[in-house]
Amino acid sequence: MEPDAYTPFCGTPPLPGDLLTRWTLDPLLLAGLLLFTAALWVTAERRGQAMSGAALVAFLFISPLCAASMALFSARVGQHILLTLVAAPLIAAALPRLRLPVWPVALLFAALFWVWHSPTPYAATLQSDVTYWAMHLSLTGTAIALFASFRSAGAQAAVPSVFTAAQLTAFAVTLTLAPTAWHDWHAMTALPYGLSALADQQLAGALMWVAGGGLFMVLVALQVRLFLRQEALPRGAA
């Protein structure tokens, strides 16, 4: 697969010296982000928190990180960490409480995270704008639903949150310890950054291991604390 065979949504892979100039100001992207922000403003109970989440989402697609994700798999994974593990929880916590089935959402999030980073679907996102946005909308939507379901489930979210942490750790370990690179696309695009495709993939795994693992350690601790507090209450007091 040759990087110059097509032009992905965020453009061709930038060289390091050009990266900071690569802002994505596509009119349809900007319109979509404005509509998304307006919808959050109307529906959110905590507007300040919702706007923080919306601002981060906008940054992830407008800033040079979007172009960097064309050159480096680690940049794409970093973008997804921020999108699903920072922006999504902010937005979920700002919305009205939603009653969502926690296990189906956790399983769907896990499936989508693994599928979209595996070789064939990942390559498809670089060849089709429709597939590119299907990836990001599905990951973002299920991540928001996941954290909303954790919020509504309370102590019952402890085990699903442990499962989510475990599957993200397993994904990180798989990336880091894989003997070969998954994505031929980055065999050439990572070289200007002093990385082989395999080293870039190992960096992506390390990012997921530290950032994803750290976040879910905190999440699991909070869920366990809530569970213990509810168990300590007299029956019927909650």
Assign 3-class secondary structure to 131-192.
HHHHHHHHHHHHHHHHHHHHHHHHHHHHHHHHHHHHHHHHHHHHHHHCCCCCCCCHHHHCHH
- What is the rounded CA–CA span in Å between residue 69 and residue 60? 10
Give mean pLDDT, residues 81-109.
93
CB atoms within 10 A of CB 79: 20
Q: What is the pLDDT of residues 28-74, one digit of tens each?
A: 999 999 999 999 999 999 999 999 999 999 999 999 999 999 999 99
201 phi and psi, to 5 degrees?
-65, -40
CA 99/CA 85 separation, integer angstroms? 20
Q: Is the pTM of this model over 0.75?
A: yes
- Copy the structure tokens of residue 149: 């379901």
Domain segments of the chain as ranges: 19-227
Mean pLDDT for all residues in the chain: 90
| CA count, 13 A, side-chain hemisphere, 164 | 32
- Please give the pLDDT value at position 63: 98
Identity of the residue numbered 109: F
CA distances from 15 to 62, 88, 122, 127, 182 (A): 18, 30, 21, 20, 22
Looking at residue 98, its pLDDT comes to: 86
